[in-house]
Homo-oligomer: A and B are copies of this chain.
């Protein structure tokens, strides 16, 4: 049940239950996630996830799009920021730290040469930086330790930082 007084409004009991379930049976930690994308003409498309409203995608005009929505590489950066926000909220709560506010700036450099077919090689981000701004009742060392821990356990962060087998095939 939601209680207004709950620390950071995080349902830490639900997380604890999940932890216990996965401790008893490690196979319970194995999850599969899905998204479906539908092309809408030009460089416009939309992501459909479970029963949620479709999320639009487009490219800036300079890249041949109509600039009606964030583009895929911006969506990737937002996914990282959202993942880090969950990590900070969960682990601050577990450490009994009250969060007053939390925001994350994510930035990445990308050379378009490979995407544009001008050079073989790496089409992705060269590097990504996330700066986590926390206003809380914890000191700078506690926050630094929290940020380090969250970075070391972030599903999106690790997916970006490590080599993942990505298979792209015709259906």
Interface residues of A (CB under 8 A from B): 2, 8-12, 14-15, 18-19, 22-23, 26, 29-39, 41-43, 45, 47-50, 52, 55, 57, 59, 61-66, 69-90, 99, 101-118, 122-134, 140, 143-144, 147-148, 150-171
Among residues of B, the one whose C-beta sits closest to the C-beta of A148 is: B168
Contact of A83 among B8, B73, B83 (CB under 8 A): B73
Expressed in whole angstroms, the minimum distance between the Cβ of A39 and any Cβ of chain B is: 4
Would you give 22 A-B contacts (Cβ < 8 Å), ordered by A? A10-B43, A18-B62, A19-B117, A30-B112, A33-B71, A33-B110, A34-B74, A36-B106, A39-B99, A55-B55, A72-B155, A76-B76, A76-B156, A87-B115, A114-B153, A123-B158, A124-B157, A124-B158, A124-B159, A124-B164, A150-B168, A161-B166
> Which secondary structure dominates chain A's binding surface?
mixed
Contacts of A162 in B (CB 8 A): 122, 124, 163
Expressed in whole angstroms, the minimum distance between the Cβ of A155 and any Cβ of chain B is: 5
Q: Would you call B156 and A37 a contact (CB within 8 A)? A: no
Q: Would you call A101 and B39 a contact (CB within 8 A)? A: yes
Expressed in whole angstroms, the minimum distance between the Cβ of A24 and any Cβ of chain B is: 11
Q: Would you call B34 and A156 a contact (CB within 8 A)? A: no
Contacts of A144 in B (CB 8 A): 170
